[in-house]
Amino acid sequence: MAQQVNWAQYEPGQLAGHYESFYQRANHPTRPLAFWIRYTIFSPAGRPADAIGELWFVLFDGETGQHVVGKQERPIAECDFDRRAFSVRIGDATLGPEALAGAADDVRWQLTFASDQPSLYLLPPRLYRGGFPKAKSLVGNPLARYDGELVVGERRIKVDGWVGSQNHNWGTRHTDRYAFGQVAGFDDAPDSFLEVATASNRIGPLNPPMVTLLVLRHRGQEHSLVSLWQGIRATGRFRYFAWDFASQSRSTRIRGRIEAPAEAFVSLAYSNPPGGVKHCLNTKIARCELEVTDRLTGAQETLLAENRALFEILTDDRGHAIAIRA
């Protein structure tokens, strides 16, 4: 299933609205510097002829505080999203199982990537088929190593062993409200990987409580806390710009906090297939502190990523005060 789920799910000409993104992100090994590159389909509900491909790019620079954003759109006729292989093209920009290359505005990228890790699922595997939930997400290649070059205006940035992930998400509508986090290697646990989300979707006039789903790979074990029951029992509370979450199984309890100053974020406008626009507050240089407790022995361990955490908030609120960049 892993390969097929990581291929494009978009059916050309479908009347149901659809969004789908293949995004890559990685952090410099020691500096607060990260990139995020996103290859996206957007097809508005009922108007498949208006579908487009989008290229997004952000360089997060925690040293200068100057984050560089690029975006480019192409009509769907100039794009190819392969449903039978991991292959994406938007205009001249390409993404395959080992490399990606492209340009958006005043930025260019030429990168290779490789990972020996199995795909990671933030939902029970059976939910990757069918219409529930409306939004689905997986990490196709966790702990991927990136090499190559970024060209940002006059600046050339060598990418040499930056660690991150290749990711894929899609659906007929965006989740109504969420906080989403990921750490690809902690400071003292470079082989550990965290994926976590706290989210809520309206059901008609009802606003159900938040559900928190979490997967941690650490010391050769995968703690997958993604069942609906675990998600409801877990806790997750976020605000601008900090998030506390906790979940547990019979053997393990995991508590965490992800946070970043406002200046670490950029705000991006995500069109929603049914209509409307969501704001995504996005950083890849947040701080994450995670406490892992063995409930059987009481042993406790703290993991820290000082400036390597992904942190996103998706919202309809317009009071966040982060300027829209794309």
For the chain, percent of residues with pLDDT exceeding 90: 92
Residue 10 in domain: no
Q: Is residue 12 part of a domain?
A: no
Per-residue model confidence (pLDDT) at position 131: 78
- Would you state the pLDDT for residue 133? 84
Residue 11 lies in a domain: no
- In this structure, which amino acid lies at residue 63? E
CA pair distance 59, 156, nearest whole angstrom: 12
Domain assignment present for residue 1? The answer is no
Report pLDDT digits (tens) over 46-64.
Answer: 999 999 999 999 999 999 9
Mean pLDDT throughout 273-294? 98
Structural domain contains residue 6: no
Q: What is the pLDDT of residues 30-51, one digit of tens each?
A: 999 999 999 999 999 999 999 9
The domain spanning residue 137 has which CATH number?
2.40.370.10
Residue 3 clears pLDDT 90, i.e. is over it: no
Q: Is residue 4 part of a domain?
A: no
Structural domain range at position 182: 19-315
Residue 295: CB atoms within 10 A of its CB come to 12
- Please report whether residue 188 resides in a domain: yes
Q: What is the pLDDT of residue 96?
A: 98
The number of beta carbons lying within 10 Å of the beta carbon of residue 12 is 14
The answer to whether residue 212 is domain-embedded is: yes
Q: pLDDT averaged over the chain?
A: 96
Using 50, 70 and 90 to split pLDDT, how confident is the model at 128? confident
Structure tokens at 63: 């040293």
Confidence (pLDDT) at 2: 57
- Distance separating alpha carbons of residues 117 and 94, to the nearest angstrom: 23
Lowest mean per-residue pLDDT among 205-219, 230-244, 295-309 = 205-219
- Structural domains in the chain (count): 1
